[in-house]
């Protein structure tokens, strides 16, 4: 399994406007083709916030839980998934025309044996799963871009 998967997109808006969207984890199900719902525990999202997530791929549905491990307003948010040890990050970088957003999935210590088994037996194997993950990241970023740019255009 590749330890890091990532995708980036340029959004024609400020890091502050992009941050309002990417840090609102309860809305993740609107953008992600796999993470259909994130339930936030404890009020506003911040460092240490815990989530309960419902994921779906084809007919498969599975729950995960996560904890926000990085929370830098207008710069980055990251959470670690308890069940497979992966870290999901959104990093925002100001550019001359807006904001570059990078979505990254890291597995610095690999994933759990159960996660590897499930990917191998039920999700087409690691190579296919990683291709799907990159496609999903690009879809998620495109949906975030569309939402942010529409909101930005409405305020101009």
pLDDT per residue over 140-156, tens digit each?
A: 999 999 999 998 888 86
Q: Tell which residue, 83, 86, 120, 80, has the closest CA to residue 105.
A: 86
The pTM of the full predicted model, rounded to 2 decimals, is 0.88
Count CA atoms closer than 13 A to 61's CA, side-chain side. Answer: 5
Q: What is the pLDDT of residue 107?
A: 79
Mean pLDDT of residues grouped by 10 in the chain (156 residues)?
Answer: 85 97 95 95 95 90 94 98 91 97 84 59 60 90 97 82
For residue 147, the surrounding DSSP H or E stretch is: helix 125-155
Show the domains of the chain with their CATH numbers: 4-155 (3.30.530.20)
């Amino acid at each position: 399994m590749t330890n890091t998967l990532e995708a980036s997109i340029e959004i024609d808006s400020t890091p502050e406007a992009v941050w309002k969207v990417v840090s609102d984890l309860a809305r993740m199900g609107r953008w992600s083709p796999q993470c259909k719902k994130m339930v936030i525990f404890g009020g506003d999202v911040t460092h240490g916030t815990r989530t309960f997530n419902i994921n779906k791929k084809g007919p498969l549905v599975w729950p995960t839980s996560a904890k926000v491990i990085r929370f830098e307003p207008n710069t980055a948010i990251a959470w670690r998934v308890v069940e497979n040890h992966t870290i999901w990050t959104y990093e925002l970088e100001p550019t001359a025309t807006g904001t570059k957003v990078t979505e990254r999935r890291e597995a610095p210590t690999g994933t759990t044996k159960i996660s590897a088994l499930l990917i191998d037996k039920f999700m087409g194997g690691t190579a296919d799963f990683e291709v799907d993950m990159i496609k999903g990241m690009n879809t998620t970023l495109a949906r975030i871009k569309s939402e942010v740019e529409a909101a930005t255009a409405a305020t101009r």
